[in-house]
Structure 1
Amino acid sequence: MSENTEDLATRNSTLETRLSELETRNSNLETNLSLLATRNSQLATESISSDDSDEIDLAELWRAIWSGKWLIIAITFMFSVGSVFYALSLPDEYKSTVLLAPASSSSSSSLSKLAGQFGGLASLAGINLGGGGAEDKTVVAMEIMKTWGFLETFIIDNNIQVEVFAAEGWNRSSNTLVIDPEIYDVENKKWVREFNASRGQKLEPSSWELFEKFKGRVSVSQDKTTGLISLSVEYFSPEIAKQWADQLVKAINAHIQKQDREEAIKSIAYLNEKIQETNIADMQSVFYQLIEEQTKTLMLAEVSEEYVFKTLSPAKVAEEKAKPKRALIVILGLMLGGMLAVIIVLIRHFRKLAPVK
């Protein structure tokens, strides 16, 4: 009996110890829960204060902008007035456009057929028949019109150095160009511009200076869908813009025409020499056919005025200016002035708030 009593006492003691441990754990859990609740409350408070801080910052920015509204209005007004005067100071420019199509060439197509038939045989004799037709000439002509050499020759041949380099506007009432007197003396017909000899400049503008001035006035583009070419010229005088557009078309046609004529003459002479050098009947037949095609090319180059480009829609004298876009200039000036004014006001505001060191 005594042993059973001792066992029961021991078990009771163990149970009491475990109950005490459970109570301690419960107490710890309650403490942790209390800490978590406190932390959540702190986080919520910080979040609310952060939102309040953001709202205060936005409100502060608005107050800063509002307090500097007169400065913003003044700066914006100054920029607006300046952009108006700048837009009005720019001279009107007019655009004249001519629509072109590649001129068909039966000689080129025939030569392409010969290239397919006898290209390998002719290559044995060192002759390249090629395979390009009117499309190749069109691409070449478009690229030539953008080159320094072609535009320089065009300017010199048409004697338009003064119009290209010294003009600064157009008088509609008298239909005359306004020439900058600091660059060219119209009465004495001489150049009077200031130049920097150390940079290689001379009194008269160089061919490169003329090219740089003129190339921005000429644009050539091709519609990838239709293959039609648009040649546009922008200038102060609408009549001169039309005149230059027409002259450019004639000039590029004449340029390619002259090249093909010279090549045809050289090719015919070369082929005649090759005929004398070979006794192979097939080769002689190829050479005779090539001479025939080159003769057609030479004949076409002699008689055809629209050799590369055929005019579909001729250039017209523009009645409305192409640029400047004065309304757009004023709007951009207004926006730039407003943004700059706001930035200045905010910088001044935050510099006042910055602690003095």
Structure 2
Amino acid sequence: MTDNNLNEVNKDNIRYVMITPENLQNSDADNDEIDFRKLWNVIWSGKWIIIGVTAIFTIASIFYALSLPNIYKSEALLAPANSEQQGGLGALASQFGGLASLAGVNLGGAKADKTDMAIEILKSREFFSQFVDRHNILPDLMAVKEWDRINNSVIYDTEIYLPKSDEWVRQVKPPRQIKPSMQEAIETFKNLLNLAKDKETSMVNISIQHYSPYIAKQWVDWLIRDINLNMKSRDKQEAEKSIAYLQSQIEKTTITEHKTLLYQLIEEQTKTLMFAEVRDEYVFKTIDSALVPELKAKPKRALIVVLGVLLGGMVAVMIVLIRYFASNKTTNGDR
């Protein structure tokens, strides 16, 4: 076959197309439009599946939201108690800090440090153990199921605790115990307790969440009272030991200046004892007392239902798309 004949065949049987960037862009746009239309058609064809699945999720989320018991939050605002006795100690600190430290007497007057220490004590295992034993809060902490508003009483989960016989009956695997340990209880308590200190004002916000608004308020009051008693007891013991030591040193020394200093230190420690005796709000003063909350803090039932609807819609669309692509794959495989 000659070159002329070959050229004639090529011209007759082959269609030459010039590819330009504009052609490619238009082609991609057409494909995107077609894909979007297909996707919409697939979703629209499965609208009853989407409606059905979304309805199931919506109903389930409504029942779930309604099944959750209300949780109430009671809170109080505290301020560090003024420590007038610190003024006299501070005046002595610059002159006799060395001797006072030997006596175990703190002349620093660090009010902020005492507040921070009180907050850390509130979070400690030792304080919590004493709090549980003093007020017998373990059943209300670990076994309450809901609160009966009409009778103002808590309802216990009888699979965990029997209130009439004061018996723990829950089924747990080791290392958990039938009666909750302090380690387990304090982890639960920490989820209910919130302590927040404002760095600028040193104000402390303390709050408790519970199924019963009355218990939440009661626990806040108990915590404030107990931490004041705890800090008061610590300072009293320290002051009494310091006074005993200082008195023993007075008997040993014959230097008049030393005796004068020791008597001044005893005077300041005596002031500490006096303040501890007369003050109920020793480390924290209540600015805004805890109240019995009328409105729940959670759950946010409307939000739960909205999230349920959105989740149901997404799952339904995924089901429709998966069914479509699976059927296409099967059809193409058969071909």
TM-score by length of 1: 0.81
Cα–Cα, structure 1 residues 113 and 338, in superposed 2: closer, same or farther, change >3 Å? farther
Contact persistence 1:95–1:318 (CA under 8 A): yes
Partner residue of 1:218? Answer: 193
- The corresponding residue for 2:243 is 268
Partner residue in 2 for 1:156: 133
Matched, 1:178 2:161: no
Please give the alpha-carbon distance, in whole angstroms, between the structure 2 residues aligned to 1:331 and 1:175: 31
Structure 2 residue 318 is the aligned partner of structure 1 residue 346: no
In 2 relative to 1, CA 58–298 (structure 1 residues): closer, same or farther, beyond 3 Å? Answer: same
Alignment partner, residue 335 of structure 1: 310
Unaligned runs of 5+ in 2: 1-16
Deviations 1:5-25 (A, max 9, x none): xxxxxxxxxxxxxxxxxxxxx
Q: Does 1:45 align with 2:20?
A: no
Inter-partner Cα distance in structure 1 for 2:203 and 2:253: 45
Deviation readout 1:145-166 (Å, 9 max, x if unpaired): 1222212211111012211111
Shift of 1:345: 2.2
CA distance in 1, matches of 2:179, 2:40: 58
For 1:119, the aligned partner's letter is: G
Deviation at 1:276, TM superposition (A): 4.4
Select which of 90, 94, 97 maps to 2:72.
Answer: 94
The answer on 1:303 being equivalent to 2:278 is yes
Q: Distance in 2 between matches of 1:76 and 1:116?
A: 74
Partners of 2:43 and 2:317 within 8 A in 1: yes
Q: Which residue of structure 1 aligns with residue 292 of structure 2?
A: 317
Point out where structure 1 has 5 or more consecutive residues left out of the alignment: 1-37
Judging changes above 3 Å, is the alpha-carbon distance between structure 1 residues 57 and 294 closer, same or farther for their aligned structure 2 residues? same
Contact 1:121 1:283 in 2 (8 A): no
1:134 corresponds, among 101, 111, 118, to 111
For residue 111 of structure 1, what is the aligned residue in structure 2?
89
- When the two chains are superposed, the root-mean-square deviation of aligned CA atoms in Å is 2.2
What is the CA distance between 1:130 and its match in structure 2? 5.0
State the secondary structure of the residue aligned to 1:351.
helix
In the other structure, the counterpart of 2:181 is 206
Aligned to 1:145: 122
Alpha-carbon distance, 1:341 to partner: 1.9
One-letter code of the match for 2:80?
A: P
Query: Does the residue aligned with 2:54 lie in a helix, a strand or coil?
Result: helix
2:143 match:
166
Per-residue deviation at 1:87? 0.8
Match of 1:249 in 2: 224
Structure 1 window deviating more from structure 2 (278-287 vs 43-52): it is 278-287
Look up the SS of the partner of 2:73 in the other structure.
Answer: strand
CA contact (8 A) 1:122 1:283 kept: no
C-alpha distance in 2, partners of 1:294/1:228? 27
Aligned to 1:80, what secondary structure does the other structure show?
helix
Q: TM-score, normalised by structure 2?
A: 0.86
Structure 1's 64 and 303: CA in aligned 2 closer, same or farther, altered over 3 A?
same
Asked if residue 288 in structure 1 is aligned to residue 266 in structure 2, the reply is: no
Assess if the C-alpha contact under 8 Å between 1:151 and 1:215 holds in 2.
no
- Whether contact under 8 Å (2:103, 2:246) holds in the other structure is no
Which stretch shifts more, 165-174 or 41-50?
41-50
- Work out the CA distance in 2 between the residues paired with 1:339 and 1:283: 82
Quote how far apart the aligned CAs of 1:74 are: 1.5
Q: Is the 8 A contact 1:182 1:193 kept in 2?
A: yes
Tell me the distance in 2 between the aligned counterparts of 1:274 and 1:261.
Answer: 20
Residue identity opposite 2:192 in structure 1: R
How many aligned residue pairs are there? 316
How do residues 27-38 of structure 1 correspond to structure 2 at under 5 angstroms? none
TM-aligned CA deviation for residue 221 of structure 1: 1.3
Q: Residue 160 of structure 2 aligns to which amino acid in structure 1? A: I
Larger Rg belongs to: 1
Q: Percent identity?
A: 47
